[in-house]
Amino acid sequence: MRNRISPALALIFCCSFVFGQKNAMFEQQPSSRTGVTFENTLRETPASNVLTYEYFYNGGGVAVGDVNNDGLEDLYFTANMGPNKLYINQGGFSFRDVTDQAGVGGYDGWKTGVSMADVNGDGLLDIYVCYSGKSSPDTRRNQLFINNGPTDLPGGGKGVTFTERAREYGLDDPSYSTQAAFFDMDRDGDLDMYLVNHNVTVIRSFEFGDVKNTRDPYAGDKLFRNDNGRFTDISQAAGIKGNPLGFGLGISVSDINNDGWPDLYVTNDYVEPDYLYINNQDGTFSDRLTDYMQHISHFSMGCDVSDFNNDGLPDIFTLDMLPEDNKRQKLLYGPDNYEHYALMVLNGFYFQNMRNMLHLNNGDGTYSEIGQFAGISNTDWSWAPLFADYDNDGWKDVFITNGYYRDYTNRDFMKYKGDYYFEKAKNHEPADTFHLVTSMSSTPVHNYAFHNNGDLTFTDVSEDWGFRERNFSNGSVYADLDNDGDLDLVVNNQNEPASLYKNLSKEHQPERHFIQLSLTGAGKNTRALGARVKIYAGGQVQFFEISPTRGFQSSVSYRIHAGLGGTAAVDSIRIDWPSGKELVLDKVPADQLLKVNEDESKGVQNPQPAAGPKIFTKIASAIDYQHVEQGFNDFKRQPLLMTMLTTCGPVLALGDVNGDGLQDVYVGGAQETPGKLYTQDDRGGFQSSAVLPFDPRYTDADALFFDADGDGDQDLYVVSGGYNEYTEKDNALQDRLYLNNGSGKFGLAQKALPDMRVSKSCVTAADFDGDGDLDLFVGGRVIPGKYPLAPESFLLENKGGRFESVAAKVAPDLAGIGMVTDAEWVDLNKDGRMDLVLAGEFMPIEVFLNEGGRKLVRATDRFFDRPLAGLWNR
């Protein structure tokens, strides 16, 4: 059951010629050594180019797997315009081209993605190839190469032959296909298949509404159920969207909601949002993207689902097109159009932004997007993200392929193209489209490698790890090609040979250990797709899922590889098989390939635990309030704003306004929509007050119930904010104090407040001077039209229900303190007096200590050894 990898293999390259950066962790191997001469060559012609087929430069894929069962992982490459290639691994990074002998070169069509899976459950890996391109359906039919088993090669070695049987299996689909993912969707023991497709026709925005709920037979995605060896298209019945707006580019299979059933994340280019299909356990899926995520990539490319922070939960990473440096950002992409963005959101296309997005699983059915915080949001026109532990330190790093053969979105070219068409039309001359293609610049870029720091952030180590070469890369896989205990990389490039990178981490850091697992599943799911594995070692837990379709148009190794750092043994390994069985292995030595067979295991059936009693019960909305903003576009007033400042609400304040012992609610309004007061009844319902003194001219930014005049009831202070709709010193920026008559009826307290006409953010109350009444701090947020200049903030001393601004006298350091977003009174030094803590935008957390109720003295450096500057929110 346990086979140790021979350490001799690690010595094969010790005296080898270095091809690439010296002492880098990855060493590119020349084709003269590996025998891998495959090249995805694109031939641009007037009839076939990026202006006739927009996905012309999307490139090909790679699949890796042991197709002849000799213990070495073999390689298969797809070529858009030429023959595909199969290379048998002969050991020592030497490969042999067996394409013709195996019969897997494919026909003369536009090949895209490739998957390796044991489709018929005979223990042998089969190969499924996708086709696309602007051509007839018969030249787009996908191919399924069924593995006939190993054969002897002339001159020695084990080869393999295949038979193309897609039509027999019902999988010769003629869609515009990008990639296929095999998985057991219904947990019946055989493999089903999801097919990612894309359109080849641009759909104009005014047509979106007409086609969004239609089904396109060639552009829409499809789901095929395995019915005793023949696949049936159940897409519509299963809830799979198939509209022509879908430009599918990536797919990952993972148990997103941890219920034991495989779910799907599908990325879409252009306007259509990504799909997050949750398995309903009855043969159907529901797109729950908006329930799980707050925003997504816009031009989503490849994706990966993996637990990068070792908390046992699957995280999601999607790629986009945003360059790393400012020059390429400005050269290739124009300014964001907020009104277009808002229109897309309004029409159901969700919140999409053009950058890579790393979605951290919160464990409660939601994700937090942290790509910018993690440092992996900008990697140019990127394709394949692959999470794996490349340096064996126990944390999954990420490798990203990159590049687009011509600068299709170059702003100078776009202007030239427009001028060219205009001149040709004006002179009644035919336009030479191919001239435009050859006029586009071509800028190769390097691939990216990011080291996982173990703290939710990554460090760019592209050059240090050996990825300096600039090229155009698409599909990619990882695998331990030489069985030396670290993961190597294979990349499919355009117009140059494929890249094979040998990982030298075992040579550079031999003190680091690893464990590899090869699972054999029961029944026809022989590769245990959908199995979930947790490896406990060194105080960490590493989580893996058997799901080889990852990255872009590619299929990675089925082996699980876990780096262990300095830990020489694994405490335990838990395997949850797709069948529901569970297996636990204890005290496993490191540095070996562990082979585990589900049939031989003594695991017991592991049903999902019954749900416990619910702590919270969702009830129908008790408050009939819907917040309405006026739709101002702050970016038109100041294009360099980072975010909208006008939309402050809605804000809430809680208090017992009528003395009945129940909490009532004030909901703040926006301009032209006054705030509302809701009083609670003894049944938990809320009633809106019939007569309200609240003025619709204001934009409410915060609110507070407190006893302003010392009469024992709750009065209401409302902060005025906003930006685009107001001028500097606008009367609508004045705050308001509403006094309670004791029974929940409010009236505006005229002249109770000083002149406070700036846009503000927050209010908090405390008796800072110790005289028995509540004083206020009100944070200044921004000056309309003058962001980021700091406005005035206010310290208001209570003078019997009237308030006087005393900041200049009591806390002079508050002058120009910054754009305050939040404030809190707290006794930091335990002297019985309330101190003030502030946070804001582009300012550090600030502390003001209360000195005897007479002064608030800035004392930030007493609590922080360095300024904690940031974009602090509430």
Give tens-digit pLDDT for 587-620.
Answer: 999 999 999 999 877 655 545 555 667 777 777 6
Residues facing 488 on adjacent strands: 479
One domain for residues 846 and 798 = yes
**Per-residue pLDDT, 612:** 66
With bands split at pLDDT 50, 70 and 90, how would you rate the model's confidence at 231? very high
One domain for residues 563 and 638 = no
- Asked if residue 5 has pLDDT above 50, the reply is no
Residue 342 inside a domain? The answer is yes
Contacts of residues 597-602 at CB distance under 8 Å and 24 or more positions apart, as own/partner, are: 597/1, 597/519, 597/520, 598/519, 598/520, 598/521, 598/522, 598/528, 599/520, 599/522, 600/1, 601/575
Between the CA atoms of 270, 272, 276 and 279, what dihedral angle is there, to the nearest 10 degrees? -130
One domain for residues 558 and 577 = yes
Backbone angles phi, psi at 784, to 5 degrees: -55, 125
Give tens-digit pLDDT for 703-736.
Answer: 999 999 999 999 999 999 988 878 888 999 999 9
Backbone angles phi, psi at 127, to 5 degrees: -130, 125
CA atoms of 428 and 778, how far apart (whole Å) = 67
Give tens-digit pLDDT for 497-540.
Answer: 999 999 999 999 999 999 999 999 999 999 999 999 999 999 99
Domain count, the chain: 3
Residue 599 inside a domain? The answer is yes
Give tens-digit pLDDT for 431-473.
Answer: 999 999 999 999 999 999 999 999 999 999 999 999 999 999 9
What single string gives the DSSP state of each residue in 25-72? SEEEEPHHHH----BB-----SSSSTTTSTTTTS---EEEE-TT-SSS
CATH assignment of the domain containing 548? 2.60.40
CA atoms of 708 and 797, how far apart (whole Å) = 11
CA atoms of 493 and 31, how far apart (whole Å) = 13
**CB atoms near residue 448 (< 10 Å):** 24
What single string gives the DSSP state of each residue in 660-726? SSS-EEEE--BTTB--EEEEE-TTS-EEE-SS----TT--EEEEEEE-SSSSSS-EEEEEE--STT-
Residue 572 inside a domain? The answer is yes
The closest alpha carbon to 552, from 479, 498, 475, belongs to 475
| Percent of the chain residues past pLDDT 70, beyond the cut | 96
One domain for residues 842 and 704 = yes
| CB-based contact 180:193 (threshold 8 Å) | yes
What single string gives the DSSP state of each residue in 815-853? TT--EEEEEEEE-SSSSSS-EEEEEEEEEE-EEEEEETT
Residue 397 inside a domain? The answer is yes
CATH assignment of the domain containing 178? 2.130.10.10
CA atoms of 804 and 753, how far apart (whole Å) = 7
One domain for residues 787 and 678 = yes
Choose one of 498, 514, 530: the last residue of a domain: 514
- Asked if residue 7 has pLDDT above 80, the reply is no
Residue 246 inside a domain? The answer is yes
One domain for residues 467 and 563 = no
With bands split at pLDDT 50, 70 and 90, how would you rate the model's confidence at 100? very high
Kindly list the distances between the CA atom of residue 409 and the CA atoms of 305, 431, 440, 650, in Å, as whole numbers in the listed order: 29, 20, 9, 39
With bands split at pLDDT 50, 70 and 90, how would you rate the model's confidence at 643? confident
> Average pLDDT in the 76-88 region?
98
One domain for residues 302 and 384 = yes
Choose one of 460, 481, 514: the last residue of a domain: 514
With bands split at pLDDT 50, 70 and 90, how would you rate the model's confidence at 4? very low
**Per-residue pLDDT, 6:** 46
**Residue 578 DSSP class:** T
| CB-based contact 344:245 (threshold 8 Å) | no
Choose one of 482, 514, 546: the last residue of a domain: 514
One domain for residues 478 and 538 = no
The closest alpha carbon to 698, from 732, 725, 668, 723, belongs to 732
With bands split at pLDDT 50, 70 and 90, how would you rate the model's confidence at 203? confident
**Per-residue pLDDT, 588:** 96
The closest alpha carbon to 320, from 442, 226, 404, 431, belongs to 404
Kindly list the distances between the CA atom of residue 488 and the CA atoms of 28, 125, 483, 503, in Å, as whole numbers in the listed order: 10, 20, 10, 5
Residue 628: CB partners within 8 Å, gap ≥ 6? 670, 673
One domain for residues 195 and 217 = yes
Maximum Cα interatomic distance, the chain, rounded to a whole number of Å: 101
One domain for residues 540 and 500 = no
One domain for residues 509 and 552 = no
Q: How far apart are the first and last CA of the chain?
A: 55
**Per-residue pLDDT, 454:** 97
| CB-based contact 820:762 (threshold 8 Å) | yes
| CB-based contact 116:126 (threshold 8 Å) | yes
With bands split at pLDDT 50, 70 and 90, how would you rate the model's confidence at 20? very low
Residue 868: CB partners within 8 Å, gap ≥ 6? 844, 845
Does 17 or 50 have the greater pLDDT score? 50
Q: Which residue has the tokens 């017991």?
A: 604
- Asked if residue 17 has pLDDT above 70, the reply is no
With bands split at pLDDT 50, 70 and 90, how would you rate the model's confidence at 29? very high
One domain for residues 572 and 697 = no
Residue 776 inside a domain? The answer is yes
| CB-based contact 191:524 (threshold 8 Å) | yes
**CB atoms near residue 425 (< 10 Å):** 10
With bands split at pLDDT 50, 70 and 90, how would you rate the model's confidence at 15? very low
Three-class DSSP labels, 442-504: CCCEECEEEEECCCCCEEECCCCCCCCCEECEEEEEEECCCCCCCCEEEEEEECCECEEEEEC
Give tens-digit pLDDT for 304-351.
Answer: 999 999 999 999 999 999 999 999 999 998 888 888 888 889 889 999
**Per-residue pLDDT, 499:** 98
Residue 365 inside a domain? The answer is yes
Domain limits at 539?
515-605
CA atoms of 225 and 203, how far apart (whole Å) = 30
Half-sphere exposure of 766 (CA within 13 A, CB side): 20
CA angle 611, 613, 617 (to 5 degrees): 110
> Average pLDDT in the 821-834 region?
96
**Structure tokens given for 362:** 């919160």
Backbone conformation region of residue 55, classed left if phi is above 0, alpha if psi is from -120 to 50, else beta = alpha
**Per-residue pLDDT, 547:** 98
Average pLDDT, the chain: 93
**Structure tokens given for 547:** 């799901």
Residue 790 DSSP SS3: coil
Kindly list the distances between the CA atom of residue 598 and the CA atoms of 2, 131, 524, 772, in Å, as whole numbers in the listed order: 14, 35, 12, 73
**Per-residue pLDDT, 578:** 95
CATH assignment of the domain containing 698? 2.120.10
Residue 178 inside a domain? The answer is yes
Residue 435 DSSP SS3: helix
